[in-house]
Structure 1
């Protein structure tokens, strides 16, 4: 299947939320879809990057195959104000339609998003997700590098809080706590 990845439009929000509800299922799907709506409308999430994957020959109104959202984040380093603080983003959520999962669509969305963020000058991207999946896409555990999540992650899930540097020389040198957009700043969103 030939896939195209492009930025979303506001008109696509209902279709994206339908995709997310179906991909996550039941109550979690409703919660993640509402979080996505909230993040897309949240000024503190700006700048954000919202991408959809569609089939190459998609008709207008056809549902997307996948969606990924990156929102603005800050790192509170405790350093002197004159020290440069890396720019950061948080990946949340990533959803792929269940009938096309395991075909590389999620990986393509991640790669395209990271390339666009690199071009925009973002330095670090964080995610709270499945370590086995995200490690295949270049993410490494962030906590043992001194980069703490907005809320504590239980020790048994510590490896789920991950980071990827989009510029060399940052990991191990920058430490601090990540602050997320207001819509994501709720402990219930930080369970894994």
Structure 2
């Protein structure tokens, strides 16, 4: 398996991967929502506000992750991991975990201090994420499932208390995603 940073030129294969994975696991409506989100995020990949990484096997994209910046009032560097997809036939083999670890290492190299995600605590705890209180770090919009708000420090310091709701990249301003 090979990992690589993805760019806007990977938009079509990213959209196809996320759409097929979420159509299969969550149904057509969720697949369509992820198709739109992935298309919007892929168009914004600039390796600053939005980063994406892919796992390839024999030239085929089998997993992909996005990180996007969350801007708080304080100068703490925070990125959100979302969305994540692994090809259906590759799931359960550690592809997603390895790809997330790869992405987190790149964030550490870039001196990012905090990584956040919103998802299944049972899965994301395997890669270091822990439940996060919104009293410590708020989500950009109201959460429908607060138990899925997760974070981890990427430095030697504990998670900081950050005031206010952060600004997120435009595609995540849709309350239906939360």
TM-score computed with the length of structure 1 as normaliser: 0.82
State yes or no: 1:33 paired with 2:35: yes
State yes or no: 1:182 paired with 2:175: no
Decide whether aligned partners of structure 1 residues 101 and 9 sit closer, same or farther in structure 2, where only a CA change above 3 A counts: same
State yes or no: 1:88 paired with 2:90: no
2:52 and 2:46 mapped to 1: Cα distance?
A: 15
**Corresponding position of 2:63:** 66
Checking the alignment, whether the CA contact within 8 Å between 1:45 and 1:181 is kept in structure 2 is no
Q: How far does residue 144 in structure 1 lie from its aligned partner after superposition?
A: 5.3
Checking the alignment, whether the CA contact within 8 Å between 2:45 and 2:51 is kept in structure 1 is no
Checking the alignment, whether the CA contact within 8 Å between 1:70 and 1:92 is kept in structure 2 is yes
Gapped regions of structure 2 (runs ≥ 5): none
SS of corresponding position for 2:67: strand
SS of corresponding position for 1:169: coil
Greater than 3 Å deviation, 4+ residue runs: 42-46
- Superposition RMSD in Å: 2.0
**Corresponding position of 1:165:** 153
**Corresponding position of 1:75:** 72
Instruction: Report how many aligned residue pairs link the two structures.
Output: 173
2:21 aligns with one of 23, 27, 30: 23
- Worse-matched range after superposition: 136-145 or 10-19: 136-145
TM-score computed with the length of structure 2 as normaliser: 0.88
- Worse-matched range after superposition: 27-36 or 17-26: 27-36
Gapped regions of structure 1 (runs ≥ 5): 77-83
